Chain A
Amino acid sequence: MQRSSEVKHEAIRISEIIAQNKQKKNVSNLFEKVIPTILFLLASITILTTLGILYTLLSQAIQFFRTVPIWEFFTGTVLKPLSQNSEFGILPLINGTLISTIIAMLVAGPIGLMSAIYLSEYASEKVRRVLKPLLEILAGIPTIVYGFFAFTFVTPLIRSIFPEVGATNILSPGLVMGVMIIPMIASLSEDAMTSVPNAMREGSLAMGATKLETTIKVVIPAAFSGIIASFVLGISRAIGETMIVTIASGSSKNFTFDITESMQTMTAYIVEVAGGEAAAGTTIYYSLYAVAITLFVFTLVMNLLARYISRKFREEY
Protein backbone atom coordinates (compact mmCIF):
# COMPACT_ATOMS: atom_id res chain seq x y z
CA MET A 1 0.00 0.00 0.00
CA GLN A 2 2.70 2.39 1.16
CA ARG A 3 4.81 1.60 -1.88
CA SER A 4 2.10 2.20 -4.39
CA SER A 5 1.19 5.58 -2.95
CA GLU A 6 4.83 6.52 -3.08
CA VAL A 7 4.98 5.58 -6.74
CA LYS A 8 1.86 7.61 -7.40
CA HIS A 9 3.42 10.58 -5.67
CA GLU A 10 6.48 10.31 -7.91
CA ALA A 11 4.27 10.22 -10.94
CA ILE A 12 2.55 13.45 -10.01
CA ARG A 13 5.82 15.22 -9.53
CA ILE A 14 7.19 14.04 -12.84
CA SER A 15 4.16 15.24 -14.74
CA GLU A 16 4.51 18.61 -12.99
CA ILE A 17 8.14 18.89 -14.00
CA ILE A 18 7.24 18.05 -17.56
CA ALA A 19 4.52 20.71 -17.56
CA GLN A 20 7.00 23.29 -16.29
CA ASN A 21 9.54 22.33 -18.91
CA LYS A 22 6.89 22.60 -21.57
CA GLN A 23 6.31 26.19 -20.58
CA LYS A 24 9.99 26.96 -20.88
CA LYS A 25 9.99 25.30 -24.24
CA ASN A 26 7.32 27.65 -25.56
CA VAL A 27 9.86 30.44 -25.33
CA SER A 28 12.19 28.65 -27.66
CA ASN A 29 9.41 27.93 -30.10
CA LEU A 30 10.36 30.92 -32.20
CA PHE A 31 13.85 29.55 -32.55
CA GLU A 32 12.32 26.23 -33.58
CA LYS A 33 10.53 27.98 -36.41
CA VAL A 34 13.55 29.91 -37.64
CA ILE A 35 15.80 26.88 -37.78
CA PRO A 36 14.34 25.33 -40.97
CA THR A 37 14.76 28.62 -42.79
CA ILE A 38 18.40 28.89 -41.75
CA LEU A 39 19.03 25.29 -42.74
CA PHE A 40 17.36 25.89 -46.07
CA LEU A 41 19.55 28.91 -46.78
CA LEU A 42 22.67 26.95 -45.91
CA ALA A 43 21.61 24.11 -48.17
CA SER A 44 20.93 26.57 -50.98
CA ILE A 45 24.57 27.69 -50.89
CA THR A 46 25.64 24.35 -52.32
CA ILE A 47 23.02 24.44 -55.00
CA LEU A 48 23.78 28.05 -55.91
CA THR A 49 27.51 27.28 -56.10
CA THR A 50 26.84 24.40 -58.44
CA LEU A 51 24.66 26.57 -60.61
CA GLY A 52 27.32 29.28 -60.57
CA ILE A 53 29.98 26.85 -61.70
CA LEU A 54 27.74 25.54 -64.44
CA TYR A 55 27.00 29.07 -65.62
CA THR A 56 30.69 30.00 -65.76
CA LEU A 57 31.59 26.83 -67.60
CA LEU A 58 28.79 27.13 -70.10
CA SER A 59 29.18 30.80 -70.88
CA GLN A 60 32.91 30.43 -71.52
CA ALA A 61 32.52 27.16 -73.39
CA ILE A 62 30.07 28.89 -75.74
CA GLN A 63 32.82 31.35 -76.59
CA PHE A 64 35.00 28.42 -77.50
CA PHE A 65 32.42 26.84 -79.73
CA ARG A 66 32.19 30.12 -81.68
CA THR A 67 35.70 29.48 -83.05
CA VAL A 68 35.81 25.68 -82.99
CA PRO A 69 32.71 23.87 -84.25
CA ILE A 70 31.19 21.63 -81.62
CA TRP A 71 31.25 18.67 -84.00
CA GLU A 72 34.95 19.09 -84.71
CA PHE A 73 35.69 19.32 -81.00
CA PHE A 74 33.94 16.10 -80.06
CA THR A 75 35.13 14.03 -83.02
CA GLY A 76 38.63 15.43 -83.50
CA THR A 77 41.45 13.02 -82.80
CA VAL A 78 44.15 15.66 -82.92
CA LEU A 79 44.79 18.11 -80.12
CA LYS A 80 47.42 20.73 -81.01
CA PRO A 81 46.44 23.83 -79.06
CA LEU A 82 49.84 25.53 -79.27
CA SER A 83 50.74 24.83 -82.88
CA GLN A 84 50.50 27.39 -85.67
CA ASN A 85 47.50 25.72 -87.27
CA SER A 86 46.02 24.62 -83.96
CA GLU A 87 43.54 21.79 -83.75
CA PHE A 88 41.13 21.14 -80.93
CA GLY A 89 39.89 17.56 -80.87
CA ILE A 90 38.99 16.28 -77.41
CA LEU A 91 39.20 12.59 -78.25
CA PRO A 92 42.85 12.21 -77.16
CA LEU A 93 41.87 13.53 -73.75
CA ILE A 94 38.76 11.39 -73.46
CA ASN A 95 40.84 8.44 -74.56
CA GLY A 96 43.50 9.18 -71.92
CA THR A 97 40.83 9.58 -69.26
CA LEU A 98 39.08 6.35 -70.16
CA ILE A 99 42.28 4.32 -70.40
CA SER A 100 43.59 5.51 -67.06
CA THR A 101 40.16 4.85 -65.54
CA ILE A 102 40.02 1.34 -66.97
CA ILE A 103 43.50 0.53 -65.66
CA ALA A 104 42.58 1.95 -62.26
CA MET A 105 39.35 -0.04 -62.09
CA LEU A 106 41.07 -3.24 -63.17
CA VAL A 107 43.16 -2.82 -60.04
CA ALA A 108 40.61 -1.34 -57.67
CA GLY A 109 37.57 -3.40 -58.66
CA PRO A 110 38.80 -6.91 -57.94
CA ILE A 111 41.08 -6.00 -55.04
CA GLY A 112 38.46 -3.74 -53.47
CA LEU A 113 35.77 -6.38 -53.77
CA MET A 114 38.01 -9.15 -52.44
CA SER A 115 38.96 -6.97 -49.49
CA ALA A 116 35.29 -6.28 -48.84
CA ILE A 117 34.48 -9.98 -48.96
CA TYR A 118 37.31 -10.75 -46.60
CA LEU A 119 36.35 -8.02 -44.17
CA SER A 120 32.65 -8.74 -44.12
CA GLU A 121 32.56 -12.53 -44.38
CA TYR A 122 35.84 -13.91 -43.12
CA ALA A 123 37.69 -11.50 -40.86
CA SER A 124 37.13 -11.84 -37.14
CA GLU A 125 35.74 -8.86 -35.31
CA LYS A 126 39.24 -8.11 -34.00
CA VAL A 127 40.91 -8.13 -37.41
CA ARG A 128 38.15 -6.03 -38.88
CA ARG A 129 38.54 -3.42 -36.17
CA VAL A 130 42.23 -3.04 -37.07
CA LEU A 131 41.94 -3.28 -40.85
CA LYS A 132 39.08 -0.90 -41.53
CA PRO A 133 40.73 2.19 -40.06
CA LEU A 134 43.93 1.26 -41.91
CA LEU A 135 41.98 1.24 -45.17
CA GLU A 136 40.57 4.63 -44.34
CA ILE A 137 44.08 5.98 -43.77
CA LEU A 138 44.99 4.81 -47.26
CA ALA A 139 42.01 6.80 -48.49
CA GLY A 140 43.20 9.90 -46.70
CA ILE A 141 46.63 10.17 -48.33
CA PRO A 142 46.82 13.33 -50.50
CA THR A 143 46.78 12.50 -54.19
CA ILE A 144 49.99 14.42 -54.83
CA VAL A 145 51.77 11.84 -52.69
CA TYR A 146 50.30 9.11 -54.87
CA GLY A 147 51.45 11.08 -57.89
CA PHE A 148 55.05 11.17 -56.72
CA PHE A 149 54.82 7.54 -55.75
CA ALA A 150 53.75 6.72 -59.32
CA PHE A 151 56.44 8.88 -60.91
CA THR A 152 59.42 8.10 -58.70
CA PHE A 153 58.71 4.53 -57.68
CA VAL A 154 56.19 2.68 -59.83
CA THR A 155 57.36 3.96 -63.22
CA PRO A 156 61.06 3.15 -62.55
CA LEU A 157 59.95 -0.25 -61.29
CA ILE A 158 57.99 -0.96 -64.45
CA ARG A 159 60.87 0.34 -66.58
CA SER A 160 63.34 -1.91 -64.83
CA ILE A 161 61.30 -4.86 -66.05
CA PHE A 162 60.08 -3.47 -69.38
CA PRO A 163 62.71 -0.95 -70.50
CA GLU A 164 60.67 0.09 -73.52
CA VAL A 165 58.11 1.80 -71.28
CA GLY A 166 58.31 5.59 -71.38
CA ALA A 167 59.45 7.76 -68.48
CA THR A 168 55.98 9.15 -68.51
CA ASN A 169 53.21 6.69 -69.34
CA ILE A 170 49.56 6.11 -68.55
CA LEU A 171 50.09 2.66 -67.04
CA SER A 172 51.84 3.70 -63.88
CA PRO A 173 49.44 6.48 -62.80
CA GLY A 174 46.54 4.19 -63.75
CA LEU A 175 47.81 1.48 -61.42
CA VAL A 176 48.47 3.91 -58.59
CA MET A 177 45.07 5.49 -59.05
CA GLY A 178 43.65 2.00 -58.68
CA VAL A 179 45.43 1.59 -55.38
CA MET A 180 44.04 4.91 -54.28
CA ILE A 181 40.49 3.83 -55.09
CA ILE A 182 40.71 0.41 -53.40
CA PRO A 183 39.73 1.70 -49.93
CA MET A 184 36.67 3.42 -51.27
CA ILE A 185 35.38 0.34 -53.06
CA ALA A 186 36.35 -1.96 -50.21
CA SER A 187 34.70 0.19 -47.59
CA LEU A 188 31.46 0.86 -49.46
CA SER A 189 31.10 -2.74 -50.65
CA GLU A 190 31.81 -3.99 -47.17
CA ASP A 191 29.05 -1.76 -45.80
CA ALA A 192 26.67 -3.18 -48.39
CA MET A 193 27.63 -6.76 -47.56
CA THR A 194 27.51 -6.43 -43.78
CA SER A 195 24.01 -5.03 -44.06
CA VAL A 196 22.79 -8.30 -45.60
CA PRO A 197 20.93 -10.00 -42.74
CA ASN A 198 22.55 -13.04 -41.20
CA ALA A 199 19.30 -14.96 -41.57
CA MET A 200 20.07 -15.16 -45.28
CA ARG A 201 23.53 -16.58 -44.75
CA GLU A 202 22.04 -19.08 -42.30
CA GLY A 203 19.39 -20.10 -44.80
CA SER A 204 22.13 -20.96 -47.26
CA LEU A 205 24.55 -22.60 -44.84
CA ALA A 206 21.74 -24.72 -43.41
CA MET A 207 21.31 -26.27 -46.85
CA GLY A 208 24.86 -27.48 -46.92
CA ALA A 209 26.33 -24.59 -48.88
CA THR A 210 29.91 -23.69 -48.04
CA LYS A 211 30.85 -20.27 -46.83
CA LEU A 212 32.26 -19.32 -50.22
CA GLU A 213 29.12 -20.49 -52.03
CA THR A 214 27.02 -18.54 -49.58
CA THR A 215 29.10 -15.43 -50.15
CA ILE A 216 29.03 -15.66 -53.92
CA LYS A 217 25.47 -16.85 -54.43
CA VAL A 218 23.61 -15.12 -51.63
CA VAL A 219 25.53 -12.27 -50.01
CA ILE A 220 26.97 -10.64 -53.12
CA PRO A 221 23.69 -10.75 -55.09
CA ALA A 222 21.87 -9.30 -52.10
CA ALA A 223 24.46 -6.54 -51.75
CA PHE A 224 24.75 -6.08 -55.50
CA SER A 225 23.34 -2.59 -55.73
CA GLY A 226 25.72 -1.29 -53.07
CA ILE A 227 28.67 -2.99 -54.70
CA ILE A 228 27.85 -1.60 -58.13
CA ALA A 229 27.32 1.84 -56.66
CA SER A 230 30.77 1.66 -55.08
CA PHE A 231 32.26 0.72 -58.46
CA VAL A 232 30.55 3.59 -60.20
CA LEU A 233 31.73 6.01 -57.56
CA GLY A 234 35.22 4.57 -58.01
CA ILE A 235 35.01 5.20 -61.76
CA SER A 236 33.80 8.69 -61.14
CA ARG A 237 36.72 9.26 -58.80
CA ALA A 238 39.17 7.96 -61.41
CA ILE A 239 37.71 10.20 -64.10
CA GLY A 240 38.07 13.24 -61.90
CA GLU A 241 41.53 12.37 -60.57
CA THR A 242 44.04 15.03 -61.54
CA MET A 243 47.31 15.06 -59.65
CA ILE A 244 48.50 11.53 -60.24
CA VAL A 245 48.06 11.67 -64.00
CA THR A 246 49.43 15.19 -64.29
CA ILE A 247 52.64 14.15 -62.54
CA ALA A 248 53.17 10.68 -63.93
CA SER A 249 51.63 10.64 -67.38
CA GLY A 250 53.20 13.72 -68.91
CA SER A 251 51.42 16.00 -71.32
CA SER A 252 51.63 14.30 -74.71
CA LYS A 253 48.29 14.56 -76.40
CA ASN A 254 48.64 11.18 -78.05
CA PHE A 255 45.60 9.47 -79.40
CA THR A 256 46.71 5.90 -78.85
CA PHE A 257 45.77 2.72 -77.09
CA ASP A 258 49.34 1.89 -76.10
CA ILE A 259 49.38 2.07 -72.33
CA THR A 260 53.16 2.35 -72.18
CA GLU A 261 52.96 5.79 -73.80
CA SER A 262 52.34 9.16 -72.31
CA MET A 263 48.76 10.38 -72.61
CA GLN A 264 46.87 13.29 -71.23
CA THR A 265 43.57 13.16 -69.41
CA MET A 266 40.93 15.88 -69.43
CA THR A 267 41.88 16.89 -65.92
CA ALA A 268 45.59 17.06 -66.71
CA TYR A 269 44.87 19.21 -69.75
CA ILE A 270 42.92 21.65 -67.63
CA VAL A 271 45.83 21.85 -65.19
CA GLU A 272 48.27 22.42 -68.03
CA VAL A 273 46.26 25.16 -69.70
CA ALA A 274 45.24 26.85 -66.47
CA GLY A 275 48.85 26.81 -65.26
CA GLY A 276 50.27 27.96 -68.61
CA GLU A 277 50.38 31.41 -70.12
CA ALA A 278 47.20 31.16 -72.14
CA ALA A 279 45.90 34.71 -72.23
CA ALA A 280 42.27 35.24 -71.40
CA GLY A 281 40.17 35.41 -74.52
CA THR A 282 42.32 33.10 -76.64
CA THR A 283 40.95 29.89 -78.05
CA ILE A 284 43.27 27.87 -75.85
CA TYR A 285 41.93 29.65 -72.83
CA TYR A 286 38.35 28.95 -73.81
CA SER A 287 39.14 25.32 -74.67
CA LEU A 288 39.76 24.82 -70.96
CA TYR A 289 36.08 25.44 -70.34
CA ALA A 290 34.94 23.20 -73.13
CA VAL A 291 37.00 20.35 -71.69
CA ALA A 292 35.82 21.18 -68.19
CA ILE A 293 32.18 20.98 -69.18
CA THR A 294 32.78 17.62 -70.85
CA LEU A 295 34.42 16.38 -67.68
CA PHE A 296 31.53 17.74 -65.66
CA VAL A 297 29.06 15.82 -67.80
CA PHE A 298 31.12 12.63 -67.44
CA THR A 299 31.18 12.73 -63.66
CA LEU A 300 27.57 13.85 -63.49
CA VAL A 301 26.50 10.90 -65.60
CA MET A 302 28.50 8.52 -63.44
CA ASN A 303 26.99 9.89 -60.25
CA LEU A 304 23.47 9.73 -61.63
CA LEU A 305 24.18 6.21 -62.79
CA ALA A 306 25.30 5.27 -59.27
CA ARG A 307 22.09 6.67 -57.84
CA TYR A 308 19.96 4.98 -60.45
CA ILE A 309 21.62 1.61 -59.97
CA SER A 310 21.42 1.66 -56.21
CA ARG A 311 17.71 2.50 -56.44
CA LYS A 312 16.90 0.07 -59.17
CA PHE A 313 18.59 -2.95 -57.67
CA ARG A 314 17.79 -2.27 -54.07
CA GLU A 315 16.52 -5.52 -52.58
CA GLU A 316 14.28 -5.02 -49.64
CA TYR A 317 15.18 -7.31 -46.80
Chain B
Amino acid sequence: MSIIANKMGIQLKPKTKLKESIEMTTSTQTNDIVYDTKELNLWYGQTHALKNINLEIHEKEVTAIIGPSGCGKSTYIKTLNRMVELVPGVRTTGTISYKGTNILDRTMKVENLRTKVGMVFQKPNPFPKSIYENIAYGPKIHGIRNKKLLDEIVETSLRGAYIWDELKDRLSENAFGLSGGQQQRLCIARALAIQPDVILMDEPTSALDPKSTLKIEELAQELKKDYSIIMVTHNMQQAARISDRTAFFLDGEVVEFDDTNKIFANPSDKRTEDYISGRFG
Protein backbone atom coordinates (compact mmCIF):
# COMPACT_ATOMS: atom_id res chain seq x y z
CA MET B 1 0.00 0.00 0.00
CA SER B 2 2.58 2.52 1.10
CA ILE B 3 4.79 1.93 -1.92
CA ILE B 4 1.89 2.71 -4.17
CA ALA B 5 1.10 5.65 -1.93
CA ASN B 6 4.41 7.20 -2.74
CA LYS B 7 4.01 6.42 -6.39
CA MET B 8 0.63 8.07 -6.51
CA GLY B 9 2.02 11.11 -4.83
CA ILE B 10 -1.37 12.12 -3.52
CA GLN B 11 -0.38 11.95 0.12
CA LEU B 12 -1.56 15.44 1.01
CA LYS B 13 0.31 16.64 4.04
CA PRO B 14 -2.26 17.73 6.59
CA LYS B 15 -1.46 21.02 8.23
CA THR B 16 -0.75 19.68 11.66
CA LYS B 17 0.03 22.06 14.42
CA LEU B 18 3.02 20.93 16.39
CA LYS B 19 1.81 18.60 19.05
CA GLU B 20 2.98 19.56 22.49
CA SER B 21 6.00 17.60 23.49
CA ILE B 22 4.26 16.41 26.65
CA GLU B 23 1.63 14.72 24.57
CA MET B 24 4.28 13.09 22.45
CA THR B 25 5.99 11.56 25.44
CA THR B 26 2.82 10.29 27.09
CA SER B 27 1.69 8.56 23.95
CA THR B 28 4.61 6.23 23.61
CA GLN B 29 2.79 2.95 23.91
CA THR B 30 -0.57 4.12 22.56
CA ASN B 31 -0.96 5.51 19.09
CA ASP B 32 -1.32 9.21 18.39
CA ILE B 33 -4.68 10.83 18.73
CA VAL B 34 -6.32 11.50 15.38
CA TYR B 35 -9.59 12.98 16.58
CA ASP B 36 -9.93 14.83 19.84
CA THR B 37 -13.55 15.70 20.62
CA LYS B 38 -14.13 18.22 23.39
CA GLU B 39 -17.50 19.19 24.85
CA LEU B 40 -19.31 18.51 21.63
CA ASN B 41 -23.02 19.29 21.61
CA LEU B 42 -25.27 18.93 18.59
CA TRP B 43 -28.87 19.86 17.97
CA TYR B 44 -31.19 18.91 15.14
CA GLY B 45 -33.54 21.87 15.49
CA GLN B 46 -34.81 21.34 19.04
CA THR B 47 -33.53 17.77 19.40
CA HIS B 48 -30.39 17.67 21.51
CA ALA B 49 -28.77 14.68 19.82
CA LEU B 50 -25.22 14.84 21.20
CA LYS B 51 -24.58 15.99 24.74
CA ASN B 52 -21.19 17.08 25.92
CA ILE B 53 -19.17 14.43 24.12
CA ASN B 54 -15.51 14.05 25.03
CA LEU B 55 -13.69 11.39 23.08
CA GLU B 56 -10.16 10.71 21.88
CA ILE B 57 -9.78 8.54 18.85
CA HIS B 58 -6.41 6.97 18.19
CA GLU B 59 -4.57 6.49 14.97
CA LYS B 60 -4.40 3.09 13.29
CA GLU B 61 -6.88 1.48 15.59
CA VAL B 62 -10.41 0.31 15.17
CA THR B 63 -12.70 2.30 17.41
CA ALA B 64 -16.16 0.82 17.82
CA ILE B 65 -19.17 2.91 18.68
CA ILE B 66 -22.02 1.00 20.23
CA GLY B 67 -25.30 1.92 21.82
CA PRO B 68 -29.04 1.53 21.43
CA SER B 69 -30.94 2.90 18.44
CA GLY B 70 -31.29 6.67 18.43
CA CYS B 71 -28.46 7.30 20.88
CA GLY B 72 -26.51 9.44 18.41
CA LYS B 73 -23.92 7.05 16.95
CA SER B 74 -24.55 8.01 13.34
CA THR B 75 -24.82 11.65 14.27
CA TYR B 76 -21.43 11.50 15.94
CA ILE B 77 -19.53 9.88 13.11
CA LYS B 78 -21.23 12.12 10.56
CA THR B 79 -19.95 15.05 12.58
CA LEU B 80 -16.41 13.73 12.15
CA ASN B 81 -16.58 14.46 8.40
CA ARG B 82 -19.23 17.15 8.76
CA MET B 83 -21.70 15.26 6.61
CA VAL B 84 -24.19 15.94 9.36
CA GLU B 85 -24.48 19.46 7.99
CA LEU B 86 -26.49 18.18 5.04
CA VAL B 87 -29.43 18.10 7.45
CA PRO B 88 -30.87 21.61 7.55
CA GLY B 89 -30.98 23.27 10.95
CA VAL B 90 -28.06 21.45 12.57
CA ARG B 91 -26.16 23.35 15.26
CA THR B 92 -23.00 22.35 17.07
CA THR B 93 -20.92 23.68 19.94
CA GLY B 94 -17.55 22.48 21.25
CA THR B 95 -14.56 21.39 19.23
CA ILE B 96 -13.39 18.36 17.33
CA SER B 97 -9.76 18.62 16.55
CA TYR B 98 -8.55 16.47 13.72
CA LYS B 99 -4.76 16.25 13.86
CA GLY B 100 -4.71 19.57 15.62
CA THR B 101 -7.19 21.47 13.46
CA ASN B 102 -10.67 22.26 14.75
CA ILE B 103 -12.89 20.86 12.03
CA LEU B 104 -16.00 22.55 13.40
CA ASP B 105 -14.38 25.87 12.61
CA ARG B 106 -16.35 27.74 9.93
CA THR B 107 -13.16 28.35 7.94
CA MET B 108 -12.42 24.64 7.63
CA LYS B 109 -12.95 23.51 4.05
CA VAL B 110 -15.11 20.41 4.28
CA GLU B 111 -13.84 19.12 0.94
CA ASN B 112 -10.30 18.97 2.34
CA LEU B 113 -11.49 17.22 5.47
CA ARG B 114 -13.51 14.67 3.54
CA THR B 115 -10.57 13.96 1.28
CA LYS B 116 -8.71 12.74 4.35
CA VAL B 117 -11.68 11.12 6.05
CA GLY B 118 -13.49 8.52 3.99
CA MET B 119 -16.89 7.13 4.77
CA VAL B 120 -18.68 3.86 4.22
CA PHE B 121 -22.43 3.94 4.64
CA GLN B 122 -24.89 1.53 6.16
CA LYS B 123 -26.50 0.77 2.81
CA PRO B 124 -23.97 0.22 0.03
CA ASN B 125 -24.25 3.25 -2.25
CA PRO B 126 -22.21 2.69 -5.38
CA PHE B 127 -22.77 5.11 -8.25
CA PRO B 128 -24.73 3.85 -11.25
CA LYS B 129 -21.48 3.61 -13.17
CA SER B 130 -19.05 0.85 -14.01
CA ILE B 131 -17.00 -0.78 -11.28
CA TYR B 132 -13.93 0.92 -12.68
CA GLU B 133 -15.57 4.34 -12.74
CA ASN B 134 -16.79 3.91 -9.18
CA ILE B 135 -13.25 3.51 -7.93
CA ALA B 136 -11.75 6.09 -10.26
CA TYR B 137 -14.36 8.65 -9.25
CA GLY B 138 -12.54 10.01 -6.19
CA PRO B 139 -9.09 10.23 -7.79
CA LYS B 140 -10.62 11.92 -10.84
CA ILE B 141 -12.45 14.45 -8.69
CA HIS B 142 -9.13 15.25 -7.10
CA GLY B 143 -7.46 15.89 -10.42
CA ILE B 144 -5.84 12.59 -11.32
CA ARG B 145 -6.19 12.16 -15.08
CA ASN B 146 -3.37 9.79 -15.99
CA LYS B 147 -5.00 6.64 -17.31
CA LYS B 148 -2.18 4.35 -16.22
CA LEU B 149 -2.17 5.78 -12.73
CA LEU B 150 -5.95 5.42 -12.54
CA ASP B 151 -5.69 1.78 -13.64
CA GLU B 152 -3.18 1.23 -10.89
CA ILE B 153 -5.33 2.97 -8.29
CA VAL B 154 -8.34 0.88 -9.28
CA GLU B 155 -6.36 -2.32 -8.91
CA THR B 156 -4.71 -1.36 -5.62
CA SER B 157 -7.96 -0.18 -4.11
CA LEU B 158 -9.85 -3.29 -5.12
CA ARG B 159 -6.99 -5.42 -3.82
CA GLY B 160 -7.06 -3.38 -0.63
CA ALA B 161 -10.70 -4.27 -0.19
CA TYR B 162 -9.97 -7.92 -1.05
CA ILE B 163 -12.33 -7.90 -3.96
CA TRP B 164 -9.90 -7.66 -6.87
CA ASP B 165 -9.95 -11.35 -7.71
CA GLU B 166 -13.73 -11.40 -7.80
CA LEU B 167 -14.04 -8.29 -9.94
CA LYS B 168 -10.93 -8.01 -12.08
CA ASP B 169 -12.72 -9.39 -15.15
CA ARG B 170 -15.84 -7.34 -14.64
CA LEU B 171 -14.43 -3.84 -14.30
CA SER B 172 -16.59 -2.40 -17.04
CA GLU B 173 -19.81 -3.85 -15.66
CA ASN B 174 -22.30 -1.68 -13.84
CA ALA B 175 -21.71 -1.76 -10.10
CA PHE B 176 -25.43 -2.29 -9.54
CA GLY B 177 -25.07 -5.82 -10.80
CA LEU B 178 -22.97 -6.80 -7.78
CA SER B 179 -24.30 -8.49 -4.68
CA GLY B 180 -24.86 -6.40 -1.56
CA GLY B 181 -21.67 -7.67 0.07
CA GLN B 182 -19.64 -7.01 -3.05
CA GLN B 183 -21.16 -3.55 -3.37
CA GLN B 184 -20.17 -2.75 0.19
CA ARG B 185 -16.59 -3.87 -0.38
CA LEU B 186 -16.62 -1.87 -3.59
CA CYS B 187 -17.65 1.16 -1.55
CA ILE B 188 -14.77 0.49 0.82
CA ALA B 189 -12.44 0.23 -2.15
CA ARG B 190 -13.88 3.48 -3.46
CA ALA B 191 -13.05 5.14 -0.15
CA LEU B 192 -9.52 3.68 -0.23
CA ALA B 193 -8.90 5.04 -3.71
CA ILE B 194 -8.09 8.52 -2.45
CA GLN B 195 -6.01 7.17 0.43
CA PRO B 196 -7.68 8.84 3.35
CA ASP B 197 -6.26 8.71 6.87
CA VAL B 198 -9.50 7.79 8.53
CA ILE B 199 -12.37 5.60 7.43
CA LEU B 200 -15.74 6.10 9.06
CA MET B 201 -18.08 3.14 8.85
CA ASP B 202 -21.70 3.40 9.86
CA GLU B 203 -23.02 -0.13 10.44
CA PRO B 204 -21.24 -1.31 7.31
CA THR B 205 -22.37 -4.89 7.73
CA SER B 206 -25.95 -4.44 8.86
CA ALA B 207 -27.32 -5.06 5.37
CA LEU B 208 -25.08 -8.05 4.71
CA ASP B 209 -25.15 -11.80 5.18
CA PRO B 210 -22.80 -13.44 7.73
CA LYS B 211 -20.21 -14.40 5.14
CA SER B 212 -19.90 -10.90 3.68
CA THR B 213 -19.92 -9.55 7.23
CA LEU B 214 -16.96 -11.71 8.12
CA LYS B 215 -15.12 -10.50 5.05
CA ILE B 216 -15.65 -6.89 6.00
CA GLU B 217 -14.55 -7.54 9.55
CA GLU B 218 -11.35 -9.16 8.33
CA LEU B 219 -10.91 -6.24 6.01
CA ALA B 220 -11.24 -3.74 8.86
CA GLN B 221 -8.56 -5.66 10.78
CA GLU B 222 -6.30 -5.53 7.80
CA LEU B 223 -6.98 -1.87 7.02
CA LYS B 224 -6.10 -0.61 10.45
CA LYS B 225 -2.44 -1.10 9.61
CA ASP B 226 -2.75 1.94 7.36
CA TYR B 227 -5.92 3.67 8.42
CA SER B 228 -7.74 4.76 11.53
CA ILE B 229 -11.15 3.16 11.52
CA ILE B 230 -14.22 4.28 13.39
CA MET B 231 -17.07 1.85 13.12
CA VAL B 232 -20.62 2.09 14.37
CA THR B 233 -22.09 -1.31 15.05
CA HIS B 234 -25.12 -2.91 16.65
CA ASN B 235 -23.35 -6.19 16.85
CA MET B 236 -21.61 -6.70 20.20
CA GLN B 237 -19.56 -9.66 19.02
CA GLN B 238 -18.39 -7.60 16.10
CA ALA B 239 -17.26 -4.78 18.33
CA ALA B 240 -15.54 -7.23 20.67
CA ARG B 241 -13.88 -9.11 17.81
CA ILE B 242 -12.44 -6.32 15.79
CA SER B 243 -12.12 -3.13 17.78
CA ASP B 244 -9.31 -1.87 19.97
CA ARG B 245 -11.42 0.63 21.83
CA THR B 246 -15.13 0.92 22.29
CA ALA B 247 -17.32 3.89 23.08
CA PHE B 248 -20.73 3.21 24.55
CA PHE B 249 -23.27 5.90 23.67
CA LEU B 250 -26.58 6.30 25.44
CA ASP B 251 -29.10 9.09 24.87
CA GLY B 252 -26.57 11.31 23.16
CA GLU B 253 -23.92 10.90 25.84
CA VAL B 254 -20.78 8.82 26.05
CA VAL B 255 -21.32 6.58 29.03
CA GLU B 256 -18.04 4.77 28.81
CA PHE B 257 -15.03 4.78 26.55
CA ASP B 258 -12.22 2.34 27.10
CA ASP B 259 -10.19 -0.55 25.76
CA THR B 260 -12.55 -3.00 24.13
CA ASN B 261 -11.28 -5.80 26.36
CA LYS B 262 -12.02 -3.75 29.43
CA ILE B 263 -15.46 -2.68 28.23
CA PHE B 264 -16.55 -6.21 27.47
CA ALA B 265 -14.84 -8.00 30.36
CA ASN B 266 -15.18 -5.52 33.10
CA PRO B 267 -17.22 -2.40 32.32
CA SER B 268 -17.09 0.26 34.99
CA ASP B 269 -20.60 1.57 34.40
CA LYS B 270 -23.66 -0.49 35.27
CA ARG B 271 -25.48 0.77 32.13
CA THR B 272 -22.67 -0.45 29.89
CA GLU B 273 -22.83 -3.85 31.48
CA ASP B 274 -26.60 -3.98 31.07
CA TYR B 275 -26.40 -3.02 27.45
CA ILE B 276 -23.61 -5.43 26.58
CA SER B 277 -25.29 -8.31 28.30
CA GLY B 278 -28.43 -7.54 26.33
CA ARG B 279 -30.57 -6.37 29.21
CA PHE B 280 -31.73 -3.31 27.27
CA GLY B 281 -31.35 -1.54 23.95
Contacts and interface: CB of A to CB of B under 8 A. Distances in A.
Contact of B190 (A202, A207, A208, A213): A207
B121 interface: yes
Interface stretch (B51-59, B122-130, B165-173): B122-130
A206 B126 contact: no
Interface in A184-209: 197, 199-200, 202-209
Nearest to A224: B128
B83 A207 contact: no
Contacts of A197: 125
Contacts of A199: 121, 123, 125
Interface in B9-30: none
A102 to B, nearest CB: 31
Interface in B124-144: 125-129, 137-138, 140-142
Contact of A200 (B86, B114, B127): B127
A209 B125 CA distance: 15
B81 A206 contact: yes
Contacts of A315: 128, 174, 176
Contacts of B142: 208
B209 interface: no
A316 interface: yes
Interface stretch (A52-60, A146-154, A214-222): A214-222
Contact of B141 (A124, A202, A209, A316): A209
B207 to A, nearest CB: 12
Nearest to A196: B128
Contact of A203 (B88, B112, B125, B174): B125
- The list of the 5 closest CB pairs from A to B, nearest first, reads A208-B115, A315-B128, A199-B125, A206-B119, A208-B114
Interface of A: 124, 197, 199-200, 202-210, 213, 217-218, 221-222, 315-317
5 contacts: A197-B125, A208-B114, A208-B115, A209-B141, A316-B128
